Amino acid sequence: MACVALTSLIKTIEIQFVGQTPRVTLSLNDRAGIKSFLENLSFLQAHLPKESSGDGDAVLKLRDLEMEIRDFALKAEDDIELQLSNIILAHQHGGEYGEKAAACHQLLLHQTLQKAAENATELLES
């Protein structure tokens, strides 16, 4: 389950931020962060346990880690998509209010991506 959630998160990030027509323009710093984030997610995905074998405690720890990774990936993807939707809606509103709202949601997206990247790093370390 964690593998599917990570794959979905990776694809979402690639489509939304790295693809031919990204939905949101990112700063150079954010683009570098996205690249690092994707590398960490890919590394995490590649090193997921393929099977649970061994003693009971080890199997439970691996299952717990897999559930934690799955929950992280699902939440991160939901949060990213929510912020992207909010940015698009704000731009559609137009005017000064729309621009201010879009800028606010852009900042929230930046924070969401940073937090998700930090969580991915913590999961790699565990």
CATH of the domain at 108: 1.20.5.4130
pLDDT of 116 = 93
Per-residue confidence (pLDDT) for residue 49, from 0 to 100: 66
Q: Between the CA atoms of 48, 51, 54 and 58, what dihedral angle is there, to the nearest 10 degrees?
A: 40
Structure tokens at 14: 């690639």
Give me the pLDDT at residue 91, please: 84
Q: What is the pLDDT of residue 126?
A: 74
pLDDT at 81: 94
Range of the domain at 103: 2-125
Q: From CA 16, how far away is CA 23, in angstroms rounded?
A: 6
Q: Which candidate, 27, 48, 21, 19, places its Cα nearest to that of 120? A: 48
When divided into structural domains, the chain yields a total of 1
Q: What is the mean pLDDT of each run of 10 residues along the chain (126 residues)?
A: 91 87 75 88 83 68 87 95 91 84 89 92 85
State pTM to two decimals.
0.83
State the Cα–Cα distance between residues 67 and 69, nearest whole angstrom.
5
CA 126, CA 109: separation in Å to the nearest integer?
A: 26
The DSSP output letter for 15 is I
